[in-house]
């Protein structure tokens, strides 16, 4: 029974379903490899403190997909499954680095059951995340003055996407970004 | 005892050769024992799973039910359905305790690489599957959905959530989640029978009627009575088990043939090892004969070496199989069609004895020629040999 409760509604990890198509769309071309990073207690505590929420029970390891062009790393892809209004939403986030650290290059939704599927997957909505960094404001709303607009008809799903992007940026920052130097050794890029 | 020591010394005079022969024998026996255990375990697990379903027979539309199942998994339409009147005919048979109608259809979700299977049921299914434990409640409204534990995990759903079916433009309310059953039920979306018929535009039609009998021994009588229903055929669980085992039969025969070839090669290896040993020890055998050992002693000694070699290889193979079978099971189940839940490898003393007897039988046959050849050596000629 306990196992049942833990399993239900708590699966943040997901596969990367269309790596070739995503790489072509986001980076033009490239190859990728898969890197697993374990989550130790210190890192978990730091990530949870920054997110203001606990990691999901299955997040004991994170998966990163560094993308290469001519053996040069051009970015990193990460995936996340979150809860939308009508089922799970799987988000693919591609990050690149500049002098200020990691920022979003592109966000894609690889699986969802939302009624407003088109709006949720539209460039108008997902494009808002481009250039965002881990410490930016990720509040999603249609209220006047809010920073990001929700996809019309998929407000809860929009927030799920925003939360996923923020979480993945924070996780990336803790392993490879500016925050990785503090506390423990930075993960090898 | 000294006879055994003598045989042991002769066997390990060429350690590398003997160890390699032992290794080949070990592999052959391990594979044979695993295959025998797998065969028994698979049949037992399948039987147990079918019995645990509490269903004694199924009434399905005429045609191949396996083809229909395959079509549903691919999201296709099956060629024929049962009319709702079939249920009335079934319910007239007094030997039937429960008759649960169902309508099953699938929606392929290529983005996710899977098919969502929707099963329309009514409350009789709950009586039939009385082992179900539901978090939440059973279906009562047209938009209610009861989901299996795997679905809940994939969709991150909880009781009170909604699931949208984009292909049907229909929103379903998650009213219950099945606790893990260890069966295919874990991956299903259960909705009301009428809802399923409406969603897939097949009003009043059924894909199956699951039947539990008051007394399972009445299956032949009931089968004959249900045979009159137009457009329907009856499949008993025994037939289903038989068909599944037949489907497995071809793969099993192929595997068994490969194992038998491996064993024959191993037996030839044993024969070669012992024969080489006899050739190399011709002078030694001559001395034995000259100092009073009879043909029977020499024959027995060489035969004992063969038996020891096979016994050690066989015992090693059984030990490897005992430790390796579970690992192998995990691998095999991934690729096995119709794999029942739970363990499909039954490591039993009966199989152990059977395999050991088979191996010793092979050893007796493989050792006969070298032993005979050694026994026939004439002492004078053997002593002359350099």
Q: Is B183 helix (H, G, I), strand (E, B) or coil?
A: coil
**A14 vs A110, more confident:** A110
* pLDDT per position as a tens digit, A89-130: 999 999 999 888 899 999 999 999 999 999 999 998 999 999
State residue A131's pLDDT score: 92
Number of H helices, E strands in chain B: 13, 12
Neighbour-count burial for B200-235, b at 16+ CB within 10 Å, e otherwise: bebeebbbbbbbbbeeeebbeebbebbeebeebbbe
Q: Cβ–Cβ of B163/A17 closer than 8 Å?
A: no
Between the alpha carbon of residue A50 and those of residues A43, A46, A53, A134, A147, the distances in Å are 11, 6, 8, 9, 19
Write out chain B residues lying below 8 Å of A16, CB-based.
none
Q: Cβ–Cβ of A111/B111 closer than 8 Å?
A: yes
Q: Cβ–Cβ of B149/A7 closer than 8 Å?
A: yes
Cα B120 vs. chain centroid, distance in angstroms? 30
Q: Average pLDDT, whole number, for chain A?
A: 83
Question: CA-nearest residue of chain B to A12?
Answer: B156
* pLDDT per position as a tens digit, A33-68: 999 999 989 999 999 999 888 988 888 889 999 999
User: Any idea of the CA torsion for B250, B251, B257, B260, to the nearest 10 degrees?
Assistant: -130
- In a mutational test of the A interface, the residue from B153, B158, B181 whose CB has the highest number of chain A CBs within 10 Å is B153
- Chain B contact for A187 (CB, 8 A cutoff): no
* pLDDT per position as a tens digit, B304-327: 888 888 888 888 888 888 887 777
Cβ atoms within 10 A of the Cβ of B270, count? 27
State residue B72's pLDDT score: 61
Quick one: average pLDDT of B148-171?
92
Cβ partners under 8 Å of residue B317, min gap 6: B25, B26, B27, B28, B29, B30, B31, B32, B33, B355, B359
Quick one: average pLDDT of B23-40?
83
CA-CA distance, B137 to B87, in Å (whole number)? 26
What's the farthest any 2 CA atoms get from each other in chain B? 99
Quick one: average pLDDT of B286-293?
82
Bridging pattern class, strands B144-147 and B170-178: parallel
Q: DSSP string spanning A119-181?
A: HHTSHHHHGGGTT--TTS---B-SSTT-SBPPPTT-HHHHHHHHHHHHHHHHHHHHHTSGGGG
Write out chain A residues lying below 8 Å of B164, CB-based.
85-87, 113-115
- In a mutational test of the A interface, the residue from B155, B167, B169 whose CB has the highest number of chain A CBs within 10 Å is B155
Is the pLDDT reported for residue A75 higher than 90? Answer: yes
Q: What percent of chain A has pLDDT over 70?
A: 83
CA-CA distance, B232 to B68, in Å (whole number)? 14
CA-CA distance, B174 to B146, in Å (whole number)? 6
Phi-psi region of A170 (alpha: psi -120 to 50; beta: other; left: phi over 0): alpha
State residue A178's pLDDT score: 72
For residue A114, the distance in angstroms to the closest alpha carbon of chain B comes to 7
State residue B311's pLDDT score: 86
Q: Please, what sign has the CA dihedral across residues B359, B43, B187, B138?
A: negative
CA-CA distance, A108 to A121, in Å (whole number)? 7
Between the alpha carbon of residue B161 and those of residues A120, A161, B146, B164, the distances in Å are 19, 18, 11, 10
Residue in A167, A165, A188, A168 with CA at minimum distance from that of residue A176: A188
State residue B78's pLDDT score: 73
Is the pLDDT reported for residue B46 higher than 80? Answer: no
What's the farthest any 2 CA atoms get from each other in chain A? 50
Q: Cβ–Cβ of A11/B135 closer than 8 Å?
A: no
CA-CA distance, B93 to B282, in Å (whole number)? 81
State residue A7's pLDDT score: 33
Q: Cβ–Cβ of B156/A86 closer than 8 Å?
A: no
CA-CA distance, B346 to B357, in Å (whole number)? 18
Domain ranges of chain A: 19-176
State residue B310's pLDDT score: 84
Bridging pattern class, strands B205-206 and B82-83: antiparallel
Size of interface A-B (CB pairs under 8 A): 59
Q: Cβ–Cβ of A1/B179 closer than 8 Å?
A: yes
**B153 vs B12, more confident:** B153
* pLDDT per position as a tens digit, B238-273: 777 777 667 667 777 777 788 788 888 888 888 888
User: Residue B325 in contact with residue B6, Cβ under 8 Å?
Assistant: no
State residue B65's pLDDT score: 66
Cβ partners under 8 Å of residue B386, min gap 6: B283
Cβ partners under 8 Å of residue A95, min gap 6: A75, A76, A77, A78, A102, A103, A104, A105, A168, A169, A172
- Chain B contact for A73 (CB, 8 A cutoff): no
**B231 vs A76, more confident:** A76
B353 falls in which pLDDT band (50, 70, 90)?
A: confident
CA-CA distance, B208 to A6, in Å (whole number)? 35
Residue in B315, B357, B334 with CA at minimum distance from that of residue B30: B315
Quick one: average pLDDT of B98-114?
87
**Which of A81-85, A180-184, B16-20 shows the lowest mean pLDDT across its residues?**
A180-184
A147 falls in which pLDDT band (50, 70, 90)?
A: low
Residue entry with tokens 């020890």? B281
State residue B51's pLDDT score: 66
Q: Which range, A18-32, A152-166, B20-34, B322-336, is most confident?
A: A18-32
CA-CA distance, A163 to A156, in Å (whole number)? 11
Report the predicted TM-score, pTM, of the whole model to 2 decimal places: 0.68
Cβ partners under 8 Å of residue A156, min gap 6: A84, A85
Cβ atoms within 10 A of the Cβ of A85, count? 24
Q: Average pLDDT, whole number, for chain B?
A: 83
Question: CA-nearest residue of chain B to A9?
Answer: B156
- In a mutational test of the B interface, the residue from A108, A112, A113, A116 whose CB has the highest number of chain B CBs within 10 Å is A113
Write out chain A residues lying below 8 Å of B149, CB-based.
4, 7-8
State residue A183's pLDDT score: 42
Q: Cβ–Cβ of A8/B177 closer than 8 Å?
A: yes
Q: Which two tokens stand for residue B363?
A: 């050893």
Between the alpha carbon of residue A62 and those of residues A18, A160, A175, B57, B222, the distances in Å are 19, 19, 10, 48, 57
């Amino acid at each position: 029974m306990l196992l049942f409760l833990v399993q239900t509604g708590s699966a943040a990890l997901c596969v990367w379903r269309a790596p070739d198509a995503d790489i072509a769309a986001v980076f033009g071309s490239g190859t990728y490899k898969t890197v697993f990073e374990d989550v130790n207690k210190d890192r978990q505590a730091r990530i949870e403190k920054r997110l203001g929420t606990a990691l999901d029970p299955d997040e004991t390891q994170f998966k990163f997909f560094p993308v290469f062009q001519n053996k040069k790393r051009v970015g990193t892809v990460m995936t996340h499954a979150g809860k939308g209004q009508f089922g799970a939403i799987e988000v693919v986030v591609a990050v690149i680095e500049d002098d200020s650290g990691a920022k979003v290059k592109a966000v894609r939704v690889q699986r969802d059951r939302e009624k407003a599927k088109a709006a949720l997957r539209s460039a108008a909505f997902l494009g808002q995340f481009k250039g965002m960094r881990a410490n930016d404001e990720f509040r999603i709303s249609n209220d006047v003055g809010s920073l990001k607009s929700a996809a019309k008809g998929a407000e809860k799903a929009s927030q799920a996407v925003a939360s996923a992007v923020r979480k993945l940026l924070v996780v990336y920052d803790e392993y490879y970004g500016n925050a990785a130097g503090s506390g423990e050794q930075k993960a090898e890029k | 005892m000294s006879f055994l020591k003598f045989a042991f010394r002769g066997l390990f005079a060429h350690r590398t050769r003997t160890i390699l022969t032992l290794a080949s024998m070990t592999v052959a026996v391990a594979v044979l024992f695993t295959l025998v255990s797998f065969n028994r375990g698979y049949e037992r697990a399948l039987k147990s799973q079918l019995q645990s379903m509490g269903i004694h027979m199924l009434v399905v539309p005429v045609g191949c039910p396996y083809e229909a199942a395959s079509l549903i998994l691919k999201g296709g339409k099956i060629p024929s359905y049962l009319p709702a009147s079939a249920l009335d005919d079934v319910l007239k048979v007094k030997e039937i305790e429960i008759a649960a109608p169902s309508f099953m259809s699938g929606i392929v979700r290529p983005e996710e690489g899977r098919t969502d299977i929707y099963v329309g049921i009514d409350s009789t299914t709950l009586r039939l599957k009385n082992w179900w434990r539901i978090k939440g409640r059973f279906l009562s409204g047209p938009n209610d959905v009861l989901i299996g534990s795997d679905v809940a995990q994939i969709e991150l759903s909880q009781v009170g959530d909604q699931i949208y079916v984009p292909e049907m433009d229909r929103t379903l309310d998650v009213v219950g989640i099945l606790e893990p059953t260890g069966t295919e039920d874990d991956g299903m979306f259960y909705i009301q029978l009428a809802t399923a018929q409406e969603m897939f535009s097949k009003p009043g039609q059924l894909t199956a009627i699951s039947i539990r009998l008051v007394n399972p021994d009445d299956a032949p009588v009931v089968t004959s009575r249900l045979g009159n229903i137009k457009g329907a055929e009856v499949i008993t669980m025994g037939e289903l088990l038989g068909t599944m085992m037949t489907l497995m039969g071809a793969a099993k025969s192929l595997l068994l043939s490969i194992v038998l070839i491996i064993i024959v090669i191993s037996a030839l290896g044993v024969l070669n090892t012992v024969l080489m040993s006899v050739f190399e020890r011709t002078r030694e055998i001559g001395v034995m004969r000259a100092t009073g050992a009879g043909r029977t002693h020499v024959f027995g000694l060489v035969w004992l070496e063969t038996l020891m070699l096979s016994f050690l290889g066989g015992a090693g193979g059984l030990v490897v199989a005992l430790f390796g079978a579970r690992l192998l099971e995990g691998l095999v189940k991934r690729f096995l069609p119709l794999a029942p839940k739970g363990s499909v490898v039954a490591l039993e003393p009966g199989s152990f004895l059977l395999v050991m007897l088979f191996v010793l039988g092979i050893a007796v046959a493989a050792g006969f020629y070298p032993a005979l050849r050694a026994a026939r050596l004439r002492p004078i000629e053997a002593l002359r040999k350099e």
